[in-house]
Amino acid sequence: MTLSEVIRLLTKKKVILFLRTRAIVDRTVILAQSKLIHLAPRVRINNYTVIKPHNAFVRIGKGTIIGESCVIYGHGGITIGDNCLIAPNVSIMAIEHEYSESGKLYFNQPLKFKGIKIGNNVWIGASATILDGVEIGDNSIVGAGSVVRKSVPANTLVAGVPAKEIKKLEP
Ligand SMILES: CC(C)(COP(=O)(O)OP(=O)(O)OC[C@H]1O[C@@H](n2cnc3c(N)ncnc32)[C@H](O)[C@@H]1OP(=O)(O)O)[C@@H](O)C(=O)NCCC(=O)NCCS
């Protein structure tokens, strides 16, 4: 990307962010509690993505690309490794609500969270959802539209609802 392209893409606030992190963040991206979001160099975040650490943290490793309209809720802490490809409309939700107290509104019941860890060179297909407590190993792939409830070993392709192993990948 040329310098003029970088400047065209960024507002003044984003220019400051770019100078601080060397990450490219599109104009309409929302980074709530930005001090709790760590962007490594060459991270790229596309338009309409929302990242909310919710008093925990979201760390995104170098070279990782996050597509349009992703939603990342960090309550239990989220680490995304280097050189990952997160396709558009992916949700990464490190948060669950208790639902055991009948008659009480779900949003008034306690929250619970463990956090989510995504390794290096992971490709998450469009509209997939990654739920709390999941770890995804290096070089793995999550198919489009999958719901990932259980951890995924390294070098594994999973897909479906719930996501299941489809095949092993060459490391
Ligand atoms: C996961 C993916 C890479 C697999 O591609 P592939 O290796 O060519 O897989 P195949 O098409 O040979 O499918 C293998 C099996 O997995 C199933 N499968 C593949 N992708 C699936 C998905 N997203 N959800 C559910 N099942 C899926 C197939 O139905 C097939 O099942 P079968 O053997 O019972 O018929 C691809 O399907 C996918 O989801 N790509 C994401 C694309 C995307 O999000 N692009 C955005 C740009 S970053």
Contacts of 115 (CB under 8 A, 6+ apart): 56, 76, 77, 78, 79, 94, 132, 133
Q: What is the pLDDT along the chain (171 residues), one digit of tens a residue?
A: 677 766 666 666 666 677 777 899 998 999 999 899 999 999 999 999 999 999 999 999 999 999 999 999 999 999 999 999 999 999 999 999 999 999 999 999 999 999 999 999 999 999 999 999 999 999 999 999 999 999 999 999 999 999 999 999 998
Joined together, the tokens standing for residue 72 give: 């990342």
Under 8 Å between Cβ of 123 and 161: no
Token pair 């539209």: residue: 145
Residue 5 lies in a domain: no
- In the reported structure, the alpha carbon of residue 55 is separated from the centroid of ligand 1 by a whole-number distance in angstroms of 35
Please state the pTM of the whole predicted model: 0.92
Report the CATH number at residue 98: 2.160.10.10
Which residue of 70, 130, 166, 169 sits with most ligand 1 atoms within 8 Å of its CB, as the best mutation to test the pocket? 166
- In the reported structure, the alpha carbon of residue 34 is separated from the centroid of ligand 1 by a whole-number distance in angstroms of 35
Containing domain of residue 149, as a range?
A: 24-163
